[in-house]
Structure formats: C-alpha cells, structure tokens
Amino acid sequence: MTVSRENSKLLYQGIKDAGIRFITALPETWLVYLLQMAESDAEMSLIEVAKEEEAIGIAAGAYFAGTPNLLLMQNHGFLGSINGIVSLAMLYNVPLCMLIAHRGHMGEPYPWHTRGGIVTEPVLRGLGIPFDYARDPARIGKQIREAHTYSLSSLSPVALLLTRDLMEGEK
C-alpha cells in the first residue's frame, strides 16, 4: 500500500484554506504525510494523542477557546471515541470536524481493518452524525470547508470519510 503524497498535500492545503490551525490526531498509515506536514508547519498546532477519545476533549477545549480545529483519525479510532463524542460533543453541542481514514472498505487487503470498515457508516448513521465521502482530490478543499462550516452551524460532530481512492490515489 502506498499513500499518495500529492493527494495528502491537497488535503493539507484544504485544511489550511479552511482556516484551521489546530489539529488533534493519532498517527495512522494513511495520515503519515498529513502529520509530517502539520508537524513541520510553524502556523499549525498538532497535538498527537495516545487514544482518539483524548482528541475529543482537546478539540472541545480548542472550540471553547475560539480556535478552529479538526480531528484526524482512522475509523477504528472513531469507533473507540464514541463515548467522548456522545457524552461531550453531542451532549454539549460541541462542533467536531472529523476527517476519518475510512479503512476496511471495498478493496481493503488487511483483515484487521475490515470489521471497523463494515460498521463505520452504520454507526455514523445510528448516531445521526452527518458524513460525506472524500474521493476526488480536486474537491477535497471544498469538502473540508463545507464539513467544518457544517459542524459549526449545526453545533455537532460531522465526518468526512477519507477513501482509498483519495488516500492511495488512482491505480
């Protein structure tokens, strides 16, 4: 598996163009270039966490401090952070813009990712979290702006699922 450096650059530029300068993340293979860019960017604050649920509290704090932010995570991390999403973000109307690496979807070669991939969309639907798929590198900047804006206007979590087509590029 090869992560697309070019698509990661477009994704990162989309984050910056949306006015976001604060990211919480847990390292993951598809996010490697995004995290490297954020880490080397003096304009960006990157907080790496040990568990994604920690990122929910940090993102909530950033929101209450008036700092536009987003979360980078894999779908297994999203699933592991449900308690924080429901008992903090949803309960207290905290906007969360989540960019979720949608592992375990069609074409997934690694069995350890498939269970999470199978349940991610039904869980998002079950929680009433609006989501969209990011497939096209040419549209990613617009999708990030729209997801971030929607999270703020709805005062709720919103997810943008980063697909294999986007993260690995066309093959």
CA distance 64 to 58: 10
Ordered domains of the chain (ranges, CATH): 5-168 (3.40.50.970)
CA distance 49 to 21: 17
CA distance 171 to 165: 8
Which H or E run includes 33? helix 32-40
Percent of the chain at pLDDT > 90 equals 85
Tell me the pLDDT tens digit for each residue of 1-28. Answer: 689 999 999 999 999 999 999 999 998 8
Q: For each successive 10 residues of the chain (171 residues), what is the average pLDDT?
A: 92 97 94 96 97 95 97 95 97 97 84 87 98 97 98 98 90 51
Pair type for strands 45-48 and 22-25: parallel
